[in-house]
Amino acid sequence: MNRTQRIALWSALLVLSAGVFMLYLQPAFLVMLAEQVWACF
């Protein structure tokens, strides 16, 4: 794996992590997630 591929991979992981973090800041998303988990039981 060369340097360009490694930088691209780390950048993609950083963007993905930031997107997940932004979802967890929205209360409506957390309520929907909790309701979906509760529906499994």
pLDDT score of 8 = 96
- Per-residue pLDDT reduced to its tens digit, 1-41: 899 999 999 999 999 999 999 988 999 999 999 999 999 98
pLDDT score of 27 = 92
pLDDT score of 1 = 82
The dihedral over CA atoms of 27, 31, 36, 41, expressed in degrees to the nearest 10, equals 140
pTM: 0.63
pLDDT score of 41 = 86
Class of residue 21 by CB neighbours under 10 A (exposed 0-12, middle 13-18, buried 19+): exposed
Contacts of 1 (CB under 8 A, 6+ apart): 9
